């Protein structure tokens, strides 16, 4: 009979309990990982598997400003511009808005 290979235990019950306890007490993942000699990714994965990790809300990256959307600005520009506006697709909302302001002031 072939012997079954024993999988090395990455986290003992005691180590798992310590990681969970530290995390629930507010110790950050970097500190926990340093204390136990594991990577932050490993600690986070263990906490996820144990059902205790709470992901931090992601920072919003979009700069949602009040006012018309870029598509609306392009439509407005198309209505008043004496030239083709397809080339302005890559322009920023601010640039489009400034151009619209300039063209409407001239009318």
Judge contact between 19 and 11, C-beta under 8 A.
yes
Q: Is 103 helix (H, G, I), strand (E, B) or coil?
A: helix
Burial class (CB in 10 A: 0-12, 13-18, 19+), 47: buried
CA distance 96 to 104: 12
Burial class (CB in 10 A: 0-12, 13-18, 19+), 53: middle
**List of residues 6+ apart from 58 with CB closer than 8 A:** none
**List of residues 6+ apart from 51 with CB closer than 8 A:** none
pLDDT, tens digit, for every residue of 13-42?
999 999 999 999 999 999 999 999 999 999
pLDDT, tens digit, for every residue of 47-77?
999 999 988 887 766 656 677 888 888 888 8
Its pTM stands at 0.50
CA distance 48 to 44: 6
Tally Cβ neighbours within 10 Å of residue 74.
20
């Amino acid at each position: 009979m072939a012997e079954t290979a024993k999988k090395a235990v990455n986290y003992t019950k005691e180590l798992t309990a310590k990681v969970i306890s530290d995390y629930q007490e507010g110790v950050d993942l970097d500190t926990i990982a340093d204390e136990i000699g594991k990577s932050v990714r490993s600690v986070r994965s263990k906490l996820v598997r144990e059902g205790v990790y709470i992901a931090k809300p992601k920072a919003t990256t979009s700069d949602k400003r009040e006012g018309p959307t870029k598509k609306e600005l392009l439509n407005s520009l198309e209505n008043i511009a004496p030239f083709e506006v397809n080339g302005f697709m890559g322009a920023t909302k601010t640039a489009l808005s400034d151009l619209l302001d300039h063209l409407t002031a001239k009318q």
